[in-house]
Amino acid sequence: MSRSETQQPSAGAVMTDPVRYPSSASAPVRTKRAFVLLLMTLLVPGSAQIVAGDRKLGRIALRATLCVWALLVATLLLLVLNRSLLINIMTNPFASLLIIVVLVALALGWAFLFVNTLRLIRPVLLAPGARPAVGIALVLALVLSSGSLGYAAYLLNVGRNAIGSIFSAGPAIDPVEGRYNFLMMGGDAGEDRTGRRPDSLSVLSVDAKTGQTAIISVPRNLQNAQFSEGSPMRKIYPDGYDCGNECLINAINTEVTNEHADLYPGVADPGAQATLEAVSGTLGITVQAYVLVDMDGFAKLIDAMGGIRIKAGGWVPMSGDMIDEANGIHGMPLGWLPAGELHLNGYHALWYGRSREFVDDYARIQRQQCVQQAMLKQLDPATLLSKFEDIASAGTKVVDSNISSSQLGSFVDLAMKAKGKEVKRLTIGPPDFDASFSTVPDFDVIHDKVDQLLASASEPQAAAPIDGIVQSPAAGGRLQASGLQQPTLLAAGGALAQQPTPPSSDFTPVTTTPDGEPITEAMLNQLKREGNEQALRELVASNGLCAPL
């Protein structure tokens, strides 16, 4: 028997293996083989090379695939067992850079495997009608695989840059008496100002274990603010920030930025730090960190979230230019935000939180608290993931903070615990204190009421006071331990009066006049044209009522 005859059976065997040698296979088999190889590369990268191509390349790719699967399993376990550690890893600048590099390498490697799989398919052997379908399937598989990994690397890099821009690289902070206290400041940075003037000041106090939250609002016109012990500003104002009407608490930021920055060597924002110390001393608690939001860019952040939904208690004007500063009278409103359920974009949410025409600062504070709650409520994981790039981009433009980036994981985890729980609220002014309290504050009373609030915010929610109100010994004042606050209304004769406070969101928006006539934008504008400011105040007096939806 000749040598060629002895090799004939092996050649026949080769011809019957359509997976590795498709030349002799039928057209339908070749088409089916092409789609199978693409599917194998998509689901188990390297497996197509093992069965139909370079086995060495296939083994390398398969080992990498198994390692990736193991890492995914470990990630899922961390997500369940130690979510904060996982987030800390993802937000750590060095770890996140390494993850980005690995994702890019995997995306390129996966794309190379698909190119190699296309070579194994040998499109010239396919029927002409099957080639476009295989090409489309290849492109879709590349988008699902390499495209997804590349986009994930891009988003992670966006987040990494945002974290580096917004948050500090300083040391982590520890809870004080079981709570984290963050000063939230909303400020304007106009061309004529050095530093931002915080027109909104509130402390977000979160129980370190349960996530139960309290919001304490400090009016911007508070006088004689006390600086905390150890504050460099105590040397200048040992008896409090008291020089009359010019020394309001919201002026501290600008004064320190312009005149006393040398007292805070090495501090990135001396004005913000001094304001934090003033709020700490005033409330009698330790505020560990601040978040400063530029209100001019605030609208961008809400737009990036897709807007917010609230229940508004009364009509809110979008005020025109000031025409009588002495009496606080504006020109015709640019528009009105009606009472009832609203979906606000960034522009209208900014007006909703800032407007104070026809009402006082305290109604505005209540609306600002509501906007904050609505943002916290709606910034859930689904919203964050779907709008991550826009939110991160907006955040770098409007948010500044001295919170350490190394602690983001634990704080995100804490925010998830807080989600859905009732938020306790207190305002250092109406309706929780007399209207004149901010001018001559009694700091012992403030400290006592803050202590009571935080104690109630650390108890199981079922143990809250029956009527939701703890009486204050201050004249006319009271502490709101739970639920929403009712705005200060003008009683007969112009005297300030407190109205009963409904629990939570159980209030009815004021949409009609006392005579039952529907309130409309045309009606409100007509009263404005007539100069009937008193009637407008009465019709919009309830606009401090608000609840997130």
What is the band of 386 on the pLDDT scale with cuts at 50, 70, 90?
low
DSSP H or E stretch at residue 311: strand 308-312
More confidently predicted of 15 and 374: 374
* pLDDT for res 389: 65
Q: At what angle do helices 93-121 and 130-142 cross, to 10 degrees?
A: 170
* pLDDT for res 295: 67
Query: Can you give 95-143 as a three-state secondary structure string?
Result: HHHHHHHHHHHHHHHHHHHHHHHHHHHCHHHCCCCHHHHHHHHHHHHHH
What is the distance, to the nearest Å, from the Cα of residue 11 to the centroid of all Cα atoms in its chain? 67
More confidently predicted of 395 and 336: 336
What is the band of 393 on the pLDDT scale with cuts at 50, 70, 90?
low
β-bridge mates for residue 248, sequence order:
223
283 by Cβ neighbours in 10 Å (0-12 / 13-18 / 19+) ranks as buried
Q: Quickly list DSSP for 197-256.
A: EEEEEEEEEEETTT--EEEEEE-TT-BSBPPPTT-GGGTT-TT-B-BTBT-BGGGHHHHH
Q: Examine the pLDDT at 157 and tell me if it is beyond 70.
A: yes
* pLDDT for res 4: 43
* pLDDT for res 1: 42
Share of the chain above pLDDT 70, in %: 79
What is the band of 435 on the pLDDT scale with cuts at 50, 70, 90?
confident
pLDDT tens, position by position, 306-340: 888 999 999 999 988 877 776 668 788 899 999 99
What is the band of 226 on the pLDDT scale with cuts at 50, 70, 90?
very high
Give the least confident one: 48-52, 170-174, 523-527: 170-174
Q: Residue 286 is which amino acid?
A: T
Predicted structure pTM score: 0.63
* pLDDT for res 168: 65
pLDDT tens, position by position, 458-506: 765 543 332 333 333 333 333 333 333 333 332 222 322 333 344 456 7
> Residue 36 to residues 53, 112, 116, 123, 125: CA-CA distances in angstroms?
14, 17, 14, 14, 16
β-bridge mates for residue 471, sequence order:
478
Q: What are phi and psi of 242, to 5 degrees?
A: -130, 105
Q: Write out the two tokens for 144.
A: 């699902």
What is the residue whose two structure tokens read 């039928």? 26
pLDDT tens, position by position, 201-215: 889 888 888 888 888
Q: Which residues contact 10 (CB under 8 A, 6 or more apart)?
A: none
- Spatial separation of the C-alpha atoms in residues 375 and 485, rounded to whole Å: 18
- Spatial separation of the C-alpha atoms in residues 459 and 462, rounded to whole Å: 8
Find the mean pLDDT for residues 92-106. Answer: 90
* pLDDT for res 470: 33
More confidently predicted of 362 and 488: 362
